[in-house]
A and B are shown apart, each in its own frame.
Chain A
Amino acid sequence: MSGGSYYVPESSKWPILASLALGAMMIGIGTLLVHGMAGMPVMALGLVGVLAVMALWFRDVILESRGGLYDHQMDRSFRWGMGWFIFSEVMFFAAFFGALFYVRTFALPWLDGEGAKGVAALLWPDFTASWPLLNPPDVSIEGPQETFSPWHLPLVNTLILVSSSITLTIAHEGLKEGLRDSARFWLTVTVLLGLCFISIQGVEYYEAYAHYGITLQAGIYGATFFLLTGFHGLHVIIGTIILSVMLIRVFRGHFTTDDHFGFEAAAWYWHFVDVVWIGLFIFVYVF
């Protein structure tokens, strides 16, 4: 274990600035939602602050790493840290999947009069449960007209994201073997695949609102659809940004064959986002 070389920075201005920026962003979001556009500048300022602090903080970490301040023990701290962070993300999505399963397995059949709590059917006697739910119980809520076929855009996106995990692994192998050209090329391909995914998801959202009547307000189907795909899409965007930073670092020759945890952490994150999509494809689109 430690031979007394564990790097402990004496002080840092980034955390407190990050706290303040995040606070400003949240106040901005809250004001925007409750009081209207007055919150926009505060939110934008906070967001820019958060992004700037993250960039500068990571810059310091990269400089320290390149300056040789980190030993193997520090490397393990980063690995545990990233691993448990991804676990927290798993649980975040688990809550949303849990909500989806609960609604489909219990809430809707009960509203239809089935099962142990079928007495709920007294609320809306004409309601018939189905999934995707095109006719929400109350007439005041308009359901979607139709839903996506999983075998068009969603399937394309599945293929894109699964391929991107493969290309990322090839890039990683290249980095480990010292094949820099290979690493650069396949990482570039991965980032491009990420951008393709985001674009296609954008098209799908447009279709959902413009032609299918799948909206946030369209009852529980629209709500779970946008909750799950929306937070997943956000994670793809974040993952693509992370991979782009790694791409820049690879072009600058930052990593060595045996010391490149920044890259590995990005890869872990990307694979996690990929696995979440597989779950989404199966439970949101196919079944």
Chain B
Amino acid sequence: MASHLPPKPTPQHSTATAGGMAETGHARPRGLLRWLLTTNHKEIGTLYLLFSLTMFFIGGIFALVVRAELFQPGLQLVLPEFFNQMTTMHGLIMVFGAIMPAFVGLANWMVPLQIGAPDMALPRLNNLSFWLLPVAFTLLLSTLLMPGGGPNFGWTFYAPLSTTYAPPSTTFFILSLHIAGISSILGAINIIATILNLRAPGMRMMDMPLFVWTWLITAFLLIAVMPVLAGVVTMMLMDINFGTSFFNAAGGGDPVLFQHLFWFFGHPEVYIMILPAFGIVSAIIPTFSRKRLFGYASMVYATSAIAILSFLVWAHHMFVVGLPLVAELFFMYTTMLIAVPTGVKVFNWVATMFRGSISFEPPMLFALAFVVQFTVGGFSGLMLAISPADFQYHDTYFVVAHFHYVLVPGALFAILAGAYYWLPKWTGHYPHLRLSQWHFWLSVIGVNLTFFPMHFSGLAGMPRRIPDYALQFADFNLASSLGAFLFGTSQLLFVLVIIKCVRGGEKAPAKAWEGAEDLEWSVPSPAPLHTFETPPDFHPHRH
């Protein structure tokens, strides 16, 4: 067997062209082609992260259009039709284009490095998973320019708003979601195969870093629910174009069926956007507390419990749609149960810090902000879980406040924490300290100024997704809009940090952070193009 193997480039040569590897036997392609044809997990990871950053700014601009319109009561800047398209596209772009690809990018970069694998298990499929995304989102964004405008029914695209009353471009929106869904499923399959099959010899499942564990479970969720999304949008496509009655009661269907199917996808989807964040925070807090993670095994079990429960809670998004009482109760209790494993995690992070030797480098700042503010989002989630109370909160800005707390200072801050944590490994330089701190503090202030007042406007009854509002909400909205522009512009600092970090800065050693333990810190910084071509010696440490 071994005599047939192609020659392997040695690590010393690996950043230069490594000829003789490809089936063609030619040198590695250069320039643009290098990025189009690459099968390298680090290059694909970088592509994912840059794509995500681009989408983050596009989705952010849409959000700022919304906040500019809501700066004061009355219709100011945009037509209501366009306002609806902005809220919808903001949600779709941020969920499917920014947060999810950012986590996949981090997985691409870090999972092989953390388990001592030479690359992802299926490298060409990995390239396909990425390059489907620009195709999908070009198509999605192009719907804004089509006759009748783009999707205007909210990111949850409830039927019949998204079928009977939808603009003609909805068909293109559905097809773009299909492409994005294929990308997610293939990416998730690749990640699972990598984790299950390519761990360094001696690394048992319970030796894996938690980022790997959380991604394993996330990938399972993706494979389980993205096909359900594909199914439900296909049914929409048929209702729109072929006259079927899936979501039309006149033919015996039911619009509520759409909501059940959507949220059967949608609720696990929100855990897809938070479990990898848990993994990142579980890597950063021990590093900067200079202690082992408290309760490693309970973290694994809690993550699994959250994943299993995520399939049993979907109808808590639909408490006011007209569910039988038994369903209201069932979904209320299962939803509240999720607080148990989530609480286990929060307490574990706090216990990890207890009597630790803590330092406050930028990754740790973001991770700490994550723990505090994600918990705020978790508590408002508990309030929403209480079915009778939800009758008051439903479709108000309280819900907007809740899910932005779990997604922005939650998922996004974890991504930023991860970026600051691993930038030395990616670029070989530490991120600029002052700028990073400015970025952090402006982000924290901006995010809270934006979303905290929404709790109050929501409890006072301000409905979401409406371009105008009653006078009594004016002060809260003024604060939210100012906060949004502060938050949005301060993200430009992040771009500056990245550019400076790529071009130079303080050199980072292989082990860039004093308390870091995992395998990625055993390879040089920046990580060479090919790592772990022969599996590393792995010595499990006691968790």
Residues of A within 8 A of B (CB): 1-16, 18-20, 22-23, 26-27, 29-30, 33-34, 57, 60, 63-64, 67-69, 71, 73, 76-77, 80-81, 84-85, 87-89, 91-92, 94-96, 98-99, 102-103, 106-108, 111, 115-117, 120, 123, 133, 136-138, 140-141, 216-217, 219-224, 226-227
Contact = CB atoms under 8 A, between A and B. Distances in A.
A223 to B, nearest CB: 4
B226 A88 contact: yes
A102 B238 CA distance: 18
A105 B334 CA distance: 22
17 contacts: A1-B199, A3-B535, A4-B533, A5-B1, A10-B21, A12-B124, A13-B36, A15-B37, A15-B127, A26-B178, A26-B179, A107-B253, A116-B326, A217-B242, A219-B245, A220-B252, A223-B253
A224 to B, nearest CB: 8
Contact of A222 (B6, B232, B244, B260): B244
Contacts of A222: 244
A136 B39 CA distance: 53
A96 B234 CA distance: 10
Given A29-B175, A103-B252, A95 B121 contact: no
Interface in B109-163: 117-119, 121-125, 127-128, 131-132, 134-136, 138-139
B200 interface: yes
A216 to B, nearest CB: 5
A94 B264 CA distance: 11
Nearest to A9: B39
B480 interface: no
A91 B189 CA distance: 14
A220 B261 contact: no
B22 A11 contact: yes
B197 A80 contact: yes
Given A16-B36, A116-B324, A137-B252, 10 more contacts: A3-B534, A4-B535, A19-B134, A22-B135, A33-B237, A107-B256, A141-B245, A217-B243, A220-B245, A220-B251
A120 B249 contact: yes
B108 interface: no
A6 B256 CA distance: 49
A71 B535 CA distance: 15
A13 to B, nearest CB: 6
B494 to A, nearest CB: 28
In order of increasing CB-CB distance, the 6 nearest A-B pairs are A95-B231, A68-B4, A116-B324, A138-B250, A220-B252, A15-B128
A60 B125 CA distance: 13
B535 A2 contact: yes
A155 B283 CA distance: 57
B121 A77 contact: yes
A96 B232 CA distance: 8
A26 B176 contact: yes
B245 A81 contact: no
A3 B256 CA distance: 54
Given A10-B22, A116-B324, A137-B250, A223 B135 contact: no
Nearest to A223: B244
Interface string B178-206: 11001001001110111011111100000
B75 to A, nearest CB: 30
A219 B266 CA distance: 27
Most A-side CB within 10 Å, residue of B38, B135, B230: B135
A84 B178 contact: no
B31 interface: no
Contacts of A29: 175
Nearest to A222: B244
Interface in B223-242: 223-228, 230-232, 234-235, 237-238, 240-242
B228 A94 contact: yes
B37 A16 contact: yes
A111 B175 contact: no
Contacts of B190: 81
Nearest to A66: B4
B241 A33 contact: yes
Given A15-B127, A84-B193, A220 B228 contact: no
A209 B462 CA distance: 51
B257 interface: yes
A107 B254 contact: yes
B215 to A, nearest CB: 14
Nearest to B182: A22
Interface residues of B, number: 96
Contact of B227 (A7, A11, A16, A88): A88
Given A4-B533, A94-B228, A117 B322 contact: yes
B121 A80 contact: yes
Contact of A71 (B1, B28, B136, B185): B1
A99 B194 CA distance: 34
A156 to B, nearest CB: 27
Nearest to A102: B257
A134 B508 CA distance: 72
Given A18-B128, A138-B251, A216 B238 contact: yes
Contacts of A217: 242-245
A141 B193 contact: no
Nearest to B175: A26
Nearest to B222: A88
Contact of A91 (B136, B228, B240): B228
A33 to B, nearest CB: 5
Contacts of A73: 197-198
B171 interface: yes
A3 B201 CA distance: 9
A16 to B, nearest CB: 5
B107 to A, nearest CB: 15
Contacts of B53: none
Nearest to B327: A116
A8 B253 contact: no
A134 to B, nearest CB: 10
A27 B174 CA distance: 11
B514 interface: no
A140 B257 CA distance: 21
Contacts of B249: 107, 111, 120, 123, 137
B5 interface: yes
A16 B126 CA distance: 11
Nearest to B184: A88
Contacts of A20: 135
Contact of B250 (A19, A69, A108, A136): A136
A46 B32 CA distance: 23
Contact of B244 (A11, A30, A80, A227): A227
Nearest to A27: B139
A115 B324 CA distance: 9
Given A15-B124, A29-B175, A80-B196, A5 B189 contact: no
Contacts of B504: none
A273 B325 CA distance: 38
Given A4-B535, A10-B39, A216-B244, A19 B131 contact: yes
Contacts of B117: 2, 6
Contact of B118 (A6, A12, A60, A107): A6
Contacts of A19: 128, 131-132, 134-135
B318 to A, nearest CB: 12
A33 B21 contact: no
